[in-house]
Amino acid sequence: MNNQRFYYVPAFIIASIALIEMATDMYLPNLPAVMREFNTTESLLQLTLSVNLFGLATAGLLAGPLSDTLGRRNMLLSGLLLFLIAGIFCTLAPSVDILLIARLLQGLGGGIVLVVGTAAIRDLYQAEKLAKIMSMMGMVIAVSPGIAPIIGGYIGMYFDWRATFGFLVVCGALLVLLFFYAMPETLYTSSKKTFSIKPILTNYLEIVKIPAFVLNALLLALTIAQLWIEMGNLPFLYIQTLNVPSHHYGIYFGSSVFIFVLGTLFNQRYVMTYGVDRLLFSGILLKVISVLLICFAAWLNIQQAWLIQLFFYPGAFGLALVISNASSRSLSVITQHVGCASAVLYLLEMALAGLALYIAGLFFNNTLWPIAISGIIWMGLVFGLYGLRKVRVT
C-alpha cells in the first residue's frame, strides 16, 4: 500500500479516538441536571460511566481478532455506526434505564474503534514513523477527556445535558461519512487470517498466567480505578455541595489534565536517565501524597473547590508516571501475542475502573470522604502489589 497516498488515515483515526475519549466524560458537569430530570440517585448516574467503561474494555477482546479476518475498514465503520446510533439514543433517552443501555452500546462502539484504529495505523507505519504517530495518539487520549468537560459544561449552560450527546452525534455522523467515502482498507488481503475462537482463548489464558504481567497490570488498573472514582464523584461535590457553576467544572478538571500532560512529558524526558522502576515508584509516592492531602481536606471539611483541586495535582503528575511505566513493565514481559496482552490490559483497567466507580457511588455523601477512603484502600492494595511485584519479578 502506498502510505504517502493515505497520509490522512492517521488524522481520521486520531480524530475518531479523540471523539470517543471525549464521549466518556463530556457530560460530567451536567450529571446533577440529569439526576434532577430523571429524579434518580448519584450512584445510578455514576453507573452510566461504569457501563460505558465496561463497553470500551470488552469490545477489543473480539474486535481485534475479527478485524484480522474482516478487515480494518469494515470494523471501523461498524464501530462508528454503533457509536453514532447509541449517541442518538443517549440524546433522546426518556429514562435513566435507556440511558444506561445506550451508554453501554456507545462504549462498545468506541472500544471497537480504539482497538481497530490502532491496528490500522500499525498496518501502515513502522519504526520511527509509527512511534511518532502513537505518541501523538497518546497525547490526544490524555488531553481529550480534559477538554470534554469544559465543552460539555458550556453546552449544558446554553442548552441542556442532551445537547452534549447531540454534539457527539453530529461529530460522529461526520466521521462516519469521512470513513465511508475516504477510508481505505489498510490490511493486505494476504495478511487476513481465518477467525477461530479457540486459539484466541488460548492466547489470553497464556497471558494471564504470567505473574509479572498480572502484577503490573493490576497496579496500573487500581491506579486508574482511583482516578475514575475521583472523576465520578467530583462533579456532584463541586456543583451540588460547593456551588461551582457547571460550566466551570471542566476548567477544574482540565487543570488536572494539564498537570498529567506535564507528567507525561517529564517521563518521556527522564525515563532513560532514572529508569522505569524508579519513576514508577515516584509516581506511586506522588499519588500517596495526594491521597493524604485529600484525607486532610476531608477531615477539615474544606469548602473551597480551588483549594481541594490543588490537592489533586501531585496525584495527577504521579498518575502520568504510573500509567507510562506500569504499562511498559506489563507489556515488556510479553514476547508474543502482544495484541492480546494489550486487550487484556485495557479490559482490566476499564472493567476495574467501572466496578470501583459504581461501588464508590453507593457511598457518596456529598463530601470528600468517599474519595479519601477509596484512596486509603488504593494505597494499601498498591503497596502490597508493589512489594509482591518486587519479590516475584526479582
Protein fold of 1-195:
Growth Hormone; Chain: A; (1.20.1250)
pLDDT of the residue at 298: 93
Residues of the chain with CATH 1.20.1250.20: 1-195, 196-394
pLDDT of the residue at 182: 83
Q: Are the beta carbons of 295 and 311 closer than 8 angstroms?
A: no
* pLDDT over threshold 70, residue 273: yes
The architecture in CATH of the region 196-394 reads Up-down Bundle (1.20)
- In terms of Cβ atoms closer than 10 Å to its own Cβ (0-12, 13-18, 19+), residue 5 is exposed
Q: Are the beta carbons of 32 and 235 closer than 8 angstroms?
A: yes
- The pLDDT tens digits for 193-247 are 666 677 778 878 888 888 888 888 888 888 888 888 888 888 888 988 898 888 8
Question: Residues with Cβ < 8 Å from 60, sequence gap 6 or more?
Answer: 111, 112, 114, 115, 342, 343, 346, 347
pTM: 0.79
Task: Give how far the C-alpha of residue 355 lies from the chain's centroid of Cα atoms, to the nearest Å.
Answer: 14
* pLDDT over threshold 80, residue 41: yes
- Cell 492531602: give the residue: 293
pLDDT of the residue at 333: 73
Pick from 45, 87, 85, 78: which is nearest to 59 by CA?
78
- The pLDDT tens digits for 255-272 are 888 898 888 888 878 888
Instruction: Please give the residue that has the higher pLDDT: either 391 or 36.
Output: 36
Q: Dihedral sign for Cα 164, 167, 173, 176, please.
A: negative
| Angle, alpha carbons 12-14-19 (nearest 5°) | 95
* pLDDT over threshold 80, residue 295: yes
d(CA 113, CA 120): 10
